[in-house]
Each structure stands twice: as C-alpha cells, then as structure tokens.
C-alpha cells in the first residue's frame, strides 16, 4: 500500500523543511518537493498534514515493562506500555532483560516470551547484575541476540550491584565487542547505611527515600564509572541523570575526550524532593530520587547546550493505590503498588509512569518555552537514541528507506493532560492538570496508522523485535 502525506513540515534532528512523504509498505519511499510532478498527479491515498509537523516516531531508550519488584510487578506490560507509548508518539522502546536465569540466552528467551505482545517496535538492554568467568565468556554472544548494551548498577547492594572491578572487566568486554555499557549511578554503601539509620530512628516517610540516596553518591559514582570507562577504552552511557553534578561530570569528561554520554528523564526536569513531602508523595518515588530546583535547572541547561544526548523515561509505573481497580480496555484491573510502603518508604515500589507523557510534556515545556529547539527535541527523543543504540537510520530518521514510523504532530493542539488522557495502566499521572500545547494527531508504525486522534488502531503483537547493531558514540 502506498500513501502520500502532503503539505506537512518535516522536523528532523538537523533541519526543518516542507516535503511530501511517500510511504510504500513499511518504509518511507521518497521525500517529494511539495510541487513535484508525483505530488501534483498523485491519485492514491492522501493524508493532508497542512499546518502540522511530521516527526520521526519517538524512540524511548529506557522503559521497564512487566518488571517484578518488591512482591508486585510494574503495572504496564509489553502491550499496555507500548500502546501508551504509541499514544504519546513513541514507536520504539528499549526494555531491560532481567538476568534471572543461569545464562543470558535463557534470560533473553524468557523475556521474549513476555515481550512478544508489544504493540510498537521494541528492543532490549541486558541487566548485567552478576559477573564471573562464565558470564564474561557468554557476554559477546548478546550481540548475536541483537542486544548490544548492558546495564550495570553501583547501587542496590546484594541485589543488582556490581563491584568496580567487575564493572571494569565488563567494560573491557563491551568496548571490544562494539557494545555499550549503561550505568545506574548511586553509592550503594552510603544508601545502605543511611537507610538503616533512617528506619532505626523512625523515619519511614517517602521523603526519606530521597534523603537516604544523596546526590553526591550519584555524582561520585558517575565520575568513577566515567574513569573506569576511560581506563578500559570503552564507551559508557549514564542513565536517568538527576543531579547538576552529573551534568557537570558529563561535561567535564566529554570536554576531555572521554566516550561518555548521558540520558535524563522528564521527571528530573520538573519535580523535587518537596513533592515527596506531599500527602501523595509516594507517587514520586523512583530511584534515583527527585532532587532540587537547581538540579532541574542545570539539567535543562545541559539539554539546551547538547551536553546530554537523550531524554528517556525510565517508565516503570505502579498504582498509587493498588487496592482500587481502574478500568482499562473495558476490564477492571488493580495491581498492588505504592500502598505496599504505606508505613515504610523502603517497601514502596520504585518507579513512575511516563512513556506516553514524554513527548507532549517535553514539547510544551522545552520547545514551547524556547529552552530547546524543535530539532533538538527530535534529536533527544528519537534520532540520538536510535543512533546510540544501533537502530539508525531504520529508526529515528525521515529518510528514504527508513521505517515509516511517523508522527503527525499538531503544534497548536491544546490539551489538559492527566490520567483521563493517559493509556498508561496506572491510577495517576505526574502531570495531572498540566496545560499542554502540541500533541500527536496520527502515529504510524512501519507505515500502518496505529493512533488516529483518540482512536486506537494498533494491536498486541504488532510490534517487532529490533535486533540492534553496533552502538555509536555521539
């Protein structure tokens, strides 16, 4: 099937221009000059995008779908989370494989069985949460499985954390095999001590989640990992940047030629530890935690100055009150959530919704306010993640031959955002009541219209696993 999208303004990571987009099957066939002969004489299907922008589908480099945690599970599975992604203009997500089985192969197979119901395209990072000789020997085989990145943690002692020596050894392997290491930077030892002290002194409230995970731990762990990466001659990507100090460290090390990159998430641009002090503060519990207004401002500056390369979401939603069902696709559903930690902040499942919110919220607050340009918006949310994670130019591009993952974006559309508009399967939204200007009107996945206004035309299982190529340093 061939479709012509006419009269739109294309926005890419490097330019904004008028063109008509000819889609054939799953691919962009051609970009045509508006007055070209093919455009004028076209008699096939036409979509008129007058007054609208055409963006490459969003690529969210950081989501957690169907993730077991603290005796419950994150409330979006691979279908509901990817449906929500699509409504927000995101057509590719990268999830994480838990290293739950003896081998990577077994862990990846188990993940595939859960992920195959995705409604948009999807890929995976591998959580590298154990390291020994057998793991080292198997690590390069992840590339054949299409998984070219691993996530390591300097926090979550006795659970997910690797020691520095193992991180260093793993970096030598990832560097040699064209892979990228992602790093969750916090100081696990300090967190253990502060958490025990807090609980022993009766500090159980949500704000203590932030107080026991200090920003300096994130800063020193980030610099430590950057130094390990430089020593191992391997690239490194810092996930969910949340502090001014991390932005400083990223700038400092990039200026010195280190192959390091960073991602922040919308929640770290707007919210602070004060939000945890609200009566419903558990809604903002995630790790790393919310910081200060000065951190928000420095992260914005780092986005506008191209110090940070991507905006992901770390989408990992839980219900605020998982004892009360919501309606989702006509069914009642309740999944235990943040109420599990009503009397103890360490029992509140860590994570927030955001996969649908990312593009509309960042457009209004970033492009609308002039903090970033429309081209930077596309770079941060689509093109850079596609390049860094080995999916470009199939994803993240408006080029002949690219997958026809397109968003027709209405820059004038005003919405009062919140849980009523959201397809994220949870009972709250961080941006409740926010006035947004700019919203996806139509979303195409490989040439198929899957979102048309409020209408869902996608299907579970229509997403395709993306075997990623070698990662790129930007």
Contacting positions for Zn ion (CB under 5 A): 184, 314
As a whole number of Å, the CA-based R_g of the chain is 21
Q: Which is nearer to ligand URP, 13 or 236 (CB)?
A: 236
Contact 174, 181 (CB under 8 A): yes
DSSP letters for 236-293: EEEEEE-SHHHHHHHHHHHHTT--EEEEE-THHHH-BHHHHTSTTGGGG--SS--B-H
Told to check if 351 binds ligand URP by CB under 6 A, we report yes
Question: In this structure, what DSSP letter does residue 352 have?
Answer: B
180 binds, options ligand URP, Zn ion, none, Cβ within 5 to 8 A by partner type: none
CB of residue 303 vs Zn ion: minimum separation in angstroms? 19
Contact 313, 265 (CB under 8 A): yes
SS (H, E, C) 401-451: CCECCEEEEEEEEEEECCCCCCCCCCCCCCCCCCEEEEEEEEEEECCEEEE
Among candidate residues 126, 129, 132, 162, the one with its CA nearest the CA of residue 144: 126
Q: Which is nearer to ligand URP, 57 or 188 (CB)?
A: 188
351 binds, options Zn ion, ligand URP, none, Cβ within 5 to 8 A by partner type: ligand URP
CB of residue 264 vs ligand URP: minimum separation in angstroms? 13
Contact 432, 422 (CB under 8 A): no
286 binds, options ligand URP, Zn ion, none, Cβ within 5 to 8 A by partner type: ligand URP
Q: Considering only residues 75, 91, 129, 350, which one is a binding residue for ligand URP as defined by CB under 6 A?
A: 350
Q: Which of residues 47-106 bind ligand URP (CB under 6 A)?
A: 64
Q: Which of residues 161-190 bind ligand URP (CB under 6 A)?
A: 184
Q: Considering only residues 174, 253, 287, 310, which one is a binding residue for ligand URP as defined by CB under 6 A?
A: 287
Told to check if 358 binds ligand URP by CB under 6 A, we report no
Told to check if 286 binds ligand URP by CB under 6 A, we report yes
52 binds, options ligand URP, Zn ion, none, Cβ within 5 to 8 A by partner type: none
Q: Which is nearer to Zn ion, 20 or 212 (CB)?
A: 212
CB of residue 272 vs ligand URP: minimum separation in angstroms? 16
Q: Is 72 helix (H, G, I), strand (E, B) or coil?
A: strand
Query: Where do we find the tokens 């490097």?
Result: 14
DSSP letters for 109-165: HHHHHHHTT-SSEEEEEEE----SHHHHHHTTHHHHTT--EEEEES-STTTT---HH
Query: Where do we find the tokens 């999916």?
Result: 391
Told to check if 290 binds ligand URP by CB under 6 A, we report no
Residue nearest to Zn ion (CB): 184
Q: Which is nearer to ligand URP, 129 or 287 (CB)?
A: 287
66 binds, options Zn ion, ligand URP, none, Cβ within 5 to 8 A by partner type: none
161 binds, options ligand URP, Zn ion, none, Cβ within 5 to 8 A by partner type: none
CB of residue 64 vs ligand URP: minimum separation in angstroms? 5
CB of residue 315 vs ligand URP: minimum separation in angstroms? 9
Among candidate residues 14, 35, 45, the one with its CA nearest the CA of residue 449: 45
387 binds, options ligand URP, Zn ion, none, Cβ within 5 to 8 A by partner type: none
Q: Which is nearer to ligand URP, 64 or 259 (CB)?
A: 64
- The number of helix segments (H) and strand segments (E) in the chain equals 16, 23
Angle between helices 244-255 and 215-232 (to 10 degrees): 20
Told to check if 150 binds ligand URP by CB under 6 A, we report no
Q: Which is nearer to ligand URP, 282 or 286 (CB)?
A: 286
Q: Considering only residues 180, 182, 316, 406, which one is a binding residue for ligand URP as defined by CB under 6 A?
A: 316
Query: Where do we find the tokens 């081209």?
Result: 375
Give every CB contact of residue 158 below 8 A, 6+ residues apart in sequence: none
353 binds, options ligand URP, Zn ion, none, Cβ within 5 to 8 A by partner type: none
Q: Which is nearer to ligand URP, 64 or 169 (CB)?
A: 64
Residues that bind ligand URP (CB under 6 A): 64, 184, 286-287, 314, 316, 350-351
């Amino acid at each position: 099937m061939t479709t012509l999208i006419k009269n739109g303004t294309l926005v890419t990571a490097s330019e904004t221009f008028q063109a008509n987009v000819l889609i054939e099957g799953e691919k962009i066939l051609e970009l045509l000059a508006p007055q070209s002969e093919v455009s004028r004489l076209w008699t096939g299907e036409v979509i008129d995008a007058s007054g609208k922008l055409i963006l490459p589908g969003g690529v969210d480099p950081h989501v957690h779908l169907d993730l077991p945690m603290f005796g419950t599970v994150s409330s979006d599975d691979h279908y509901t989370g990817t449906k929500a992604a699509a409504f927000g203009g995101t057509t590719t997500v990268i999830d994480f494989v838990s290293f739950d089985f003896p081998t990577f192969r077994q862990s990846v197979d188990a993940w595939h069985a859960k992920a195959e119901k995705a409604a948009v395209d999807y890929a995976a990072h591998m959580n590298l949460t154990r390291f020994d000789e057998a793991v080292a020997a198997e690590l390069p085989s992840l590339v054949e499985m299409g998984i070219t990145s691993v996530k390591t943690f300097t926090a979550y002692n006795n659970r997910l954390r690797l020691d520095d020596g193992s991180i260093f050894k793993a970096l030598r392997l990832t560097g040699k095999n064209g892979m990228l290491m992602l790093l969750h930077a916090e100081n696990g030892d300090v967190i253990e001590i502060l958490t025990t002290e807090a609980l022993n002194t009766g500090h159980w409230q949500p704000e203590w989640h932030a107080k026991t995970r200090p920003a300096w731990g994130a800063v020193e762990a980030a610099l430590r990992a950057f130094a390990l990466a430089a020593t191992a001659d391997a690239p490194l990507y810092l996930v969910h940047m949340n502090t001014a100090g991390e932005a400083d460290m990223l700038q400092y090390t990039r200026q010195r030629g280190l192959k390091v990159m960073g991602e922040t998430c919308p929640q770290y641009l707007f919210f602070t530890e004060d939000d945890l002090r609200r009566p419903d503060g558990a809604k903002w519990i995630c790790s790393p935690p919310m910081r200060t207004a000065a951190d928000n401002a420095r992260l914005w500056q780092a986005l506008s100055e191209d110090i940070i390369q991507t905006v992901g979401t770390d989408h990992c939603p839980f219900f605020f009150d998982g004892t009360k069902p919501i309606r989702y696709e006509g069914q009642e559903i309740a999944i235990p959530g943040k109420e599990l930690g009503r009397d103890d902040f360490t029992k509140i499942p860590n994570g927030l919704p955001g996969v649908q919110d990312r593009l509309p919220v960042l457009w209004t607050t970033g492009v609308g306010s002039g903090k970033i340009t429309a081209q930077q918006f596309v770079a941060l949310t689509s093109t850079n993640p596609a390049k860094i994670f080995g999916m470009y130019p199939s994803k993240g591009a408006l080029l002949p031959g690219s997958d026809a993952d397109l968003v027709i974006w209405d820059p004038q559309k005003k919405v009062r955002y919140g849980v009523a508009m959201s397809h994220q399967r949870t009972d709250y939204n961080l941006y409740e009541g926010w006035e947004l200007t700019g919203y996806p009107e139509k979303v195409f996945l490989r040439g198929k219209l899957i979102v048309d206004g409020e209408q869902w035309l996608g299907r579970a299982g229509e997403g395709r696993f993306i075997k990623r190529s070698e990662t790129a340093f930007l």
